[in-house]
Amino acid sequence: MKELVIKASLLKNNNEMAEKNRQLLGNQKVLTINLMGSPGAGKTAVLEKILKYLKNYKVAVIEGDLYTSKDGERIQGQGAEVIQINTAGACHLDAAMIDRALKELEQRQLEVLIIENVGNLVCPASFDLGEDKKIVVMSVTEGNDKPLKYPHMFQRAHMVILNKIDLIDFTDFNREEFYKDIKSLNADMAVVETSCRNEEGLQEICKYLIEEMKIKKDSI
């Protein structure tokens, strides 16, 4: 596993670099996912499980973390190449960090690149990385009020993974309100309920990724 330490750059320069990334990844037809969510929502756990189902595809993972390489170490050995980005305390990934990581992934003929962002529901929503799809992981233990409290994150997402669904009966999570709020922010949002303990919903996410990979491959 390669570990890079990169300081954050400014938002105003970000969009240009994101477009550059998008073009490069587009030319190579690599489906690129920006996986976001608060700390402890289960981003890494979901990713670990997904990689198991994607064994027949060429996958790379970019792991964003404040200081450690703990998540990268968990992901390594699941069949994907892992680049760990240590943000030196910055609370989000930016497009320049991804540009730097992509240089390590040249000539890999990837089919899908999954970027696990730093755990945070605020600024990762504002930093385009050049991805095709944004996926937000949230867990039932965080409470159903998260979408309305962090609307930018949820408005921009293509899919929400509602994780730790096996624990729902032990929480006050109000499913009805959650779905109502999600639809009010983004009527087209796909929501997948998952549990990494009993593997519920994980195959559905993989089905989505495989379909999107095909769309990307067939794109001109």
C-alpha–C-alpha distance, residues 206 and 199, integer Å? 12
Q: How far is the CB of 89 from Zn ion (least distance, A)?
A: 10
Residues 90-119 that bind Zn ion (CB under 5 A): 91-92
Cβ nearer to Zn ion, comparing 5 with 215? 5
Characterize 85-111 residue by residue with b for buried, 16 or more Cβ atoms within 10 angstroms of its Cβ, and e for exposed.
bbbeebebbbbbbbbebbeebeeeebb
For the four alpha carbons of 159, 160, 161 and 166, in that order, the dihedral sign comes to negative
HSE toward the beta carbon, residue 8, CA cutoff 13 A: 18
Inter-helix orientation angle 95-104/11-27, to 10°: 30
Cβ nearer to Mg ion, comparing 99 with 116? 116
Q: Which residue is listed with tokens 């970019």?
A: 62
Q: Give Cβ neighbours of residue 212 (< 8 Å, ≥ 6 apart).
A: 31, 132, 133
C-alpha–C-alpha distance, residues 11 and 48, integer Å? 30
Residues 34-93 that bind Mg ion (CB under 5 A): 43-44, 71
Name the closest residue to Mg ion (Cβ).
44
Look at residue 43 and give the partner it binds from Mg ion, Zn ion, none, a contact being a CB closer than 5 to 8 Å depending on partner kind.
Mg ion
Look at residue 44 and give the partner it binds from Zn ion, Mg ion, none, a contact being a CB closer than 5 to 8 Å depending on partner kind.
Mg ion
Report if residue 123 touches Zn ion, rule: CB under 5 A.
yes
Angle at 24 between CA 114 and CA 68, to 5 degrees: 35
Cβ nearer to Zn ion, comparing 43 with 92? 92
Report if residue 195 touches Mg ion, rule: CB under 5 A.
no
Report if residue 66 touches Zn ion, rule: CB under 5 A.
no
Look at residue 71 and give the partner it binds from Mg ion, Zn ion, none, a contact being a CB closer than 5 to 8 Å depending on partner kind.
Mg ion
Look at residue 189 and give the partner it binds from Zn ion, Mg ion, none, a contact being a CB closer than 5 to 8 Å depending on partner kind.
none
Cβ nearer to Mg ion, comparing 48 with 94? 48
Cβ nearer to Zn ion, comparing 117 with 139? 117
Q: How far is the CB of 26 from Zn ion (least distance, A)?
A: 26
Interacting residue ranges for Mg ion, rule: CB under 5 A: 43-44, 71
Interacting residue ranges for Zn ion, rule: CB under 5 A: 91-92, 123
